[in-house]
Structure formats: structure tokens, C-alpha cells
Amino acid sequence: MKRILSYFSAVLPFFAVACSEELKEASFNLYQVSEVTATAGDGYATVSWIAQEGKPEPLEYLVNWTADDPEIAGGSQTVEPASHELLVEGLTNDCTYTFAVQSRYPDGLSMKVTAVCTPKSTRIAASELKAMAGDGRVFLSWTAPETDLEYRYNISVSSGGSEIKTEEVLSDKTSCLVEGLENGREYTFTLTCVYGHGNSDSVSATAVPGEIDPITVTSTSLRQFQLCMFEYNPAYFVQGEITSVLWDFKDGATSSDMTASHIYTETGTYNVSLSVTYDSGNTETAGIEITVEPFAWMTITGTGYQKASNIVFSHDGQTFYTLSQTDKKLLAISAITGETLWEYATSAATYGAGPAVGPDGTVYFGTEDGDGSFYAVSSSGNMKWKATLGAAVKASPAVTSDGSVYVLADKGNFVAFDAASGAEKWRATLDGNAGGVAVDVDGTVYIGTSKGIWAYTETGTLKWKSETEYAVTERGGSLAIAGDVLYAALKGKGGCVALNTSSGMQLWQYKTSSNDCYHPVVDADGTVYFCEKSGYLFAVDRNGNLVWSDETDKNYIYSGFALGADGKAYISQYASPFNLLSFDKSGTRSVVTNIGAQTMSPVSIGPDRRVYYGLNGSVAVYDIKSDIAQAGWPMRGYDQQGTNSLK
């Protein structure tokens, strides 16, 4: 059973905005509080406020709260003037509340000052409970909750609506064998995490002892590219200790993993076989039939408008992440079903500052608020850490396999963070607005701003600075690496420049005639592809010579290519005729499909061999039946995780 878990605690200060029509009792001669903060907890919120300095003390404070769901009741409470904090309990988790504070004086109430927060449960539940039936027994397994709190498990065994028994299991266990059951009778197993402050939601699974399946799978009915887990049932294979297994998935692939995973790329019916070898040398076989259906979706609505940022993917290809510039949130969506798994809301928009997925599945991105907020969010939607850089984060971060995250904000603010904890490793104060960050195979970090390009070692030592103050384009992944060449897309007709990665010396510059250029990608031959804002498309070889240009339309804004293993370069159009285009190596132009709406971001090629692109209010895909190119820098962010890193 899949459970969607999220935890979000936000502190959102708001300053007073009111009018006489909204608040009849308010008077501008009375002294409202200067600031209100609401901090969310599990079923409660702490509301605090600051009185105006040097103003008369009120008789009391009035705090009231309302829910954004009209069916959920609000409330109010008075607070003595010496206190500036109130604990509001009994709130509904996952519901957003607005808290208003007013000062009461003899002549009436002051203006309201408000703050907003959303209580979230910290009693995280276990997930993926599985029940494998045996002879008079059932083997249970599950995934532990993602939490640092202390807890234990309670397992309730019921049948026919009546509880038969319960079992307590310590938190260090993720499996349990329930024995003494009656064959042929259906049992329901309910697993609950018991915390010190209450119980989590429960997960359940059913099984019928005696009706033994030798193999359990995620599902016997899959979609193309859906990850399927294959496990043998230890209650079925009982001839001795199992020393080895061999899975044959009947599509040319095999596995010797005890618990195997597999993805089917084509539709059809597959009769999977399993051969088990015991310590005695004896073998036993079993099988299961798997049906694979076509893709479940082509368009998903309600995703907001993605601008400058492209779609990236989890390492297993089952989830994709998109940033809505209009809705100010990160969305995690199932690449298989199109279902939104979770959302993470922020207080400011994102133009091109991510997302990027780390080795452990953490998603990193920045926003354009004045503080320069940068977020690390777990694969289940929980904030791991947050940092501020002091200016808008407009460049996509770089994430390395050895645990570093490099972040560039405006005003030349650059920080290297520990990916796991968010601790600062080192920083550099440069100049100019954020353009791009890229990491080489040796850990060298390249940084491009509107005032130049720098190279640093992974420990923070300056290697070189470009002699020319190249104006690297803002809002995006404006750098790319291929071999010993660093490519940068430039502003204001600067086109694209190529630098030697060791020295920073210019190799060549190909200038354009119209506007800013965006999102260079590089193929195996060193040819770089880029687009000009409201201009044309270009392919330039590794020596700086034009291979081809396309001047058919001038409708590319924040657009960018993705290179397929089929040798084609794909890009979407911002304006009419709203096409998804492909170009072969000679520049021959083909219309792949009409997408019918505006796009303002680079396209991505997913693990499912489909092109992903964000429209105004939706995400859509087209099946090109081709993987991403395996050499060069094939799409914005380098890889399908958007890491901007060769390391």
C-alpha cells in the first residue's frame, strides 16, 4: 500500500493590511502589534507577536483563527497584556489557518495583524505493508517511517470484523511472522506506529493462510517502465536454506538478486520464472504471469506554469519533479500514473533555480525571495534543511555524488553546502547576477555570473577567473562541460563562448544578432546546441564553426534542447505554431507533434524514453522511443536528475 507522507512546518510573518469595511471596530488611533508569527506543529500552532515599542500597553490581546476549509471551525481567545504568545491546540492537520492578533484598548480594537501556517502530523506511518501467506502463518514486512522520533509497532490481527490478537514489535524490526492462523480464513493485518504523543495512521494488508503464492510482486498488471519488485515467499520454499535464486523475466533479462527489481519497456504478457537452489543442492521452480499495459497518461493538468526550470527524475525513473513558477511549489508526480504524490509550497517563485536530485533522492531548489531561500526536500516531501544566501537564487544548483551542493545567488553570493546536513563548507563572494554552476569530473566548480566566469577547486581555492567579464545568462543552467571545454550561454547578443577548463582561456566565441542565449547542450562530437531568446536556434562545432542554424521562427523563451540517443535534438516552441521540434545532425528540421500551448522551459528526455515539457498549467509528454544521449552534456542540468555535475 502506497502512503503519501509529507511534513511541512513554516513560519510566515505578515504585516498589517486592513480596511474599514473588513474591520468595523478597528481604529487608526489604536496601536496594533508590529508583527505576528505562526509556527505549525502536530495538531497545534504557536502564535506569537511583538508589541510596538514605546506604545501604551493594551487591556488584552484578542487572537482569532479561521481555517481555509469552511467546514472546519475556527476560534478565538483573549490573552493577558503581559503575554505575547498563545498555544492554539485542537487544530486539524493539513488545513491552513489564518491567525489574527488585535490589541484591545478602552476605545476598542486595533487593526488586525495576521500570519498563516499549516499544522502537519509528526506521527509518520509505516508504509508498503506486505502479507505473504503460508501454511497456518503469514509473513509480514513493511517500510519503516522516516522519522527521528521514538516509536514502536502495534500489529492487530482480525478476521470477520473481529480482532483476534495483537502483537508488539520494536522499531528496529521491519518484518514479523504471525503464526497459529487457520488455513482458508482471510485475515486483516493492521500496522500502527505508536508514538509518545499518539498513534500514526494505520496501514493494512490481507492474506489467506494455506493459499500460498510462491512469488509476490508489486503488481501483476503493470504499465510500461513501471518498476516491479519480485520476492520469493519464504513460506512456500521450505525445503531448506536458500543459497541462491535465478529470476528470468522473459524479455532477455535475468537477475540473481534475492529480491529483484525489473522494468518492462514494452507491452505484452511475460511468464516470469524463478529457480531456487537450497543448501542441499536441490532446486525448486515457480512462476508468475505479468501483463504490461501501455503508458497511462500523456498530459497532466493542475501543475502551474514551469518557467526556465526543466523536469527532472528520481533515480529509479518512477517519479518526476517540476517547479511551478505561478503556484510557488515543487511537485512530485508519478511518472507511471500521472498522480501527484506530494507538493512542497514556498513563499516565493522559482525561475530556473532547480530542481536537482541528489544520490539519496533529496530534491534541491532555490527561490527568488529577498532572503535567497534554498531548500533540501526528501523524496517523501519533508524538508531536510533550508538555507538563505541573501539574494535571489536564479541558477540551478550542482549536486555531486560525494555529498556537496553548490548554490549561486545574485550579488555574486556562492556557497558550497554539505548535501546531507546543509552545513556550509565554504563560500565565495563574486560579482554579478546568477548565471550557472557546473562541476567537472575532478570536482572543479565553474561559476558563471553576469560579470564573468570563475573556477574553484572543490575545497574553495580559486583556480582561475576569465579575463573577459562574460555576461553569463541568468535564470538557468547556462554552463555545460564536454571534455576539456566549458561552454557558457551569454546575454545580449553574446551567443556562446567556449573556454579551456584548465586555464580559462577563450577558445572561441560565436556571437548572435538578437538577444540573450540559453541552456547549452553538447553532443558526443563536441557540437553545442543553444537557442536565442525571441531569436533563432544554433548548432556550433567544437572549433566554433556554425554547423547549422534554424531561422524559421523567433519563438523561443527560456527554451533548451535535449539530445536523444537517436541522434536528434529536441526543443519546444514558446509561441505559435506551438510545436515540438527535432533536428538531425545536419540541421534538418522536423515537427514531432503540435503541443498546442506555450512553453517557457527546456525539454527533458525521461527514463521512459519520452520527451517531457511544461506547458502553461500542465505537463505533457511525447513518446520518442529513444533514451537520452549517453555522451557529452545532453540536456539542461547534464543528466535526468539535473545535477549539473560530472562527478
Q: Is the omega angle on the peptide bond into residue 70 within 30 degrees of 0, that is, cis?
A: no
State pLDDT tens for residues 242-269.
999 999 999 999 999 999 999 999 999 9
Residues 493, 619, single domain; the answer is yes
Please state which of the ranges 22-36, 64-78, 271-285, 338-352 shows the lowest mean pLDDT.
22-36
- Assess whether pLDDT exceeds 80 at residue 239: no
The SS3 of residue 410 is helix
Name which of 478, 638, 628 is nearest 558 in CA terms: 478
pLDDT, tens digit, for every residue of 212-235? 889 999 999 999 999 999 999 987
Phi–psi pair at 311, nearest 5 degrees: -80, 140
Burial 263-276 (b: 16+ CB within 10 A, else e): bbeeeeebebbbeb
Does residue 404 sit in the same domain as residue 386? yes
Give 493: exposed, middle or buried? Use CB within 10 Å, 0-12, 13-18, 19+: middle
**Pairing relationship of beta strands 462-465 and 537-540 according to DSSP bridges:** unpaired
Q: How far apart, in whole angstroms, are the C-alpha atoms of residue 319 and residue 334?
A: 5
Cβ-proximal residues to 156 (8 Å cutoff; 6+ apart), any chain? 163, 166, 189, 190, 192
What CATH number does the domain containing 249 carry?
Answer: 2.60.40.10
Same domain assignment for residues 383 and 497 = yes
Query: 233 and 332 share a domain?
Result: no
The C-alpha cell that represents 503 in the structure block? 586555464
Which of 179, 207, 235 delimits the end of a domain?
A: 207
Secondary structure (DSSP) of 483-520: TTEEEEEBSTT--EEEEETTT--EEEEE--SSS-EEEE
Can you say whether residue 630 is alpha, beta or left, with left for phi > 0 and alpha for psi between -120 and 50 degrees? alpha
pLDDT in the model for residue 23? 40
φ, ψ of residue 214 in degrees (nearest 5):
-70, -25
State the burial class of residue 227 (Cβ atoms within 10 Å of its Cβ: 0-12, 13-18, 19+).
middle
What per-residue confidence (pLDDT) applies to 301?
96
CATH number, domain at 476? 2.130.10.10
Among candidate residues 592, 566, 596, 595, the one with its CA nearest the CA of residue 581: 592
Domain boundary among 293, 318, 344: 293
Residues 549 and 615 in one domain: yes
pLDDT, position 352? 85
- Judge whether 71 lies within some domain: yes
Are 179 and 222 members of one domain? no
Report yes or no on 633 lying in a domain.
no
User: Is it the case that residue 607 has pLDDT exceeding 70?
Assistant: yes
CB 358 within 8 A of CB 364: yes
Answer whether the bond into residue 355 is a cis peptide, omega within 30°.
yes
Instruction: Write out pLDDT tens, residues 402-416.
Output: 999 999 999 999 999
% the chain with pLDDT above 90: 86
Percent of the chain as helix, strand, coil, to the nearest 5: 0, 50, 50
Q: Which residue has the cell 506506529?
A: 193
Read off the pLDDT of residues 591-603 as tens digits, 9 standing for 90 and up.
999 999 999 999 9
Same domain, 457 and 554: yes
Which residue blocks in 498-621 are alpha helix, DSSP H? none
CB 351 within 8 A of CB 325: yes
Quick one: which H or E segment has residue 5?
none
DSSP label of 300: E
SS3 299: strand
Angstrom distances, CA of residue 262 to CA of 128, 269, 276: 18, 14, 18
| pLDDT at residue 6 is higher than 90 | no
pLDDT at 70 over 60: yes
Domain annotation covers residue 646: no
Q: Summarize the confidence of residues 124-149 as an average pLDDT.
A: 90
For residue 16, what pLDDT is reported? Answer: 36
Residue 26 has pLDDT above 90, yes or no: no
Could you tell me what percent of the chain has a pLDDT over 70?
95
The whole-number pLDDT of residue 362 equals: 98
d(CA 37, CA 15): 10
Please provide residue 361's backbone torsions phi and psi, each rounded to the nearest 5 degrees: 95, -5
| Structure confidence by residue, pLDDT tens digits, 321-336 | 999 999 999 999 999 9
Write out pLDDT tens, residues 145-161. 999 999 999 999 999 99
The more confidently predicted of residues 330 and 13 is: 330
Burial of 601 (0-12, 13-18, 19+ CB in 10 A): buried
Q: Are 43 and 79 members of one domain?
A: yes
Mean pLDDT of 417-446: 97
- Name which of 18-27, 193-202, 335-344, 615-624 the model is least confident about: 18-27
Residue 81's CB is within 10 A of a number of other CB atoms, namely 14
Helix (H, G, I), strand (E, B) or coil at 289: strand
Q: Is residue 634 domain-resident?
A: no
Q: Does residue 540 share a domain with residue 484?
A: yes
What's the rounded mean pLDDT across residues 174-203? 94
Asked whether residue 499 falls in the same domain as residue 354, the answer is: yes
Residue 7: its pLDDT value, please?
A: 35
514 vs 438: which has the higher pLDDT: 438
Residue bearing cell 567544437 = 542
Task: Give 476's pLDDT tier (boundaries 50, 70, 90).
Answer: low
Does residue 390 lie within any of the structural domains? yes
- Is the residue at 618 inside a domain? yes
Same-domain pairing of 433 and 462:
yes
Residue 457's domain comprises 299-623
Last residue within a domain, chosen from 177, 207, 237: 207
Instruction: Say if 85 falls within a structural domain.
Output: yes
- Asked if residue 536 and residue 464 are part of one domain, the reply reads yes
List the grid coordinates of 90: 485542537
Q: Does residue 630 form part of some domain?
A: no
Q: How many domains does the chain have?
A: 4
